Structure 1
Amino acid sequence: MDKKLRRYHQLKQKQKEIEQELAELRSEIIDHCKECEVSELEQGGYRAKLVFQERKEFDDKKLYEALPDPEVWRMLSRADTAKISSLVTLGIISDEKIKDTYAIKQVTMLQVDKK
């Protein structure tokens, strides 16, 4: 068991290092694309593509005020975007009712593929 614990710890450390390096590279690639004012870039057999998305970030207090029904709030328990989207899709709550409870955040996703 000692070897498994040691290996697990080593892998978690390596994972942290890899995630940090990925974040740094992602940031540098996105910055380069923005400086060049391009959303796609091909270089050395690889293609990078920036995908722009909008995400809703809900305010718990505003959402609770917009959804005073305790049964609906119990289904949510907190502002979980996926759960809220499901309740809207199912018609349990309406977009109109929650329209002032979130802010739209612009997110840039990076996709890198080998050609």
Structure 2
Amino acid sequence: MDKKVKRYYQLKQKQKEIEQELTELRGDIMNHCKEQGVFELEVGNYKAKIVRQERKEYDDDKLYEALPDPGVWRMLSKSDASKIASLIKLNVISEEKIKDAFSVKSITLLQVDKK
């Protein structure tokens, strides 16, 4: 068990280092694309692409007010965007009913694929 705990610690340290390097590289690539005014970049056998997405962030208090049915609220237990999207898709709740319970947040993703 000692070896497993030690290995787990070592891997977590590597994970932190890799995540830090990925963050730095992502920033460098995003800045380069921004400076060049491009959303796609081909370098050698790789293609980098900047993708913008919008995500809904729900306010639990406002959502609770918009969904007075305790049965529906129990299905959620707390706001979870994927569960809420499923309930909307199944017509259990309407997006109109909860329109004031969320804000839309824009995020930018970086995708790098091998050609």
- TM-score after normalising by structure 1: 0.94
Q: How does 1:11-22 map to 2 (within 5 A)?
A: 11-22=11-22
How is 1:98-109 mapped onto 2 (pairs within 5 angstroms)?
Answer: 98-109=98-109
Q: CA RMSD in A?
A: 1.0
Quote the residue 2:2 is aligned against.
2
Q: Tell me the amino acid that sits aligned with residue 28 of structure 1.
A: D
Deviation at 1:25, TM superposition (A): 1.1
State the percentage of identical aligned residues.
Answer: 69
Amino acid of the structure 1 residue aligned with 2:80: D
SS of the residue corresponding to residue 100 of structure 2 reads: coil
- Could you say which residue in structure 1 is the equivalent of 2:74? 74
State the secondary structure of the residue aligned to 1:31. helix
SS in 2 for 1:34: helix
Match of 1:89 in 2: 89
**C-alpha deviation, 1:82, in angstroms:** 0.5
Aligned equivalent of 2:59? 59
What corresponds to 2:112 in structure 1? Answer: 112
How far apart are 1:83 and its partner, in Å? 0.6
Which segment drifts farther, 37-46 or 90-99? Answer: 37-46
> 1:26-64, CA deviations, whole angstroms, 9 ceiling, x for partnerless residues?
122112212211100112332100111110011111111
What's the CA shift for 1:114? 2.0
The answer for unaligned runs of 5 or more in structure 2 is none
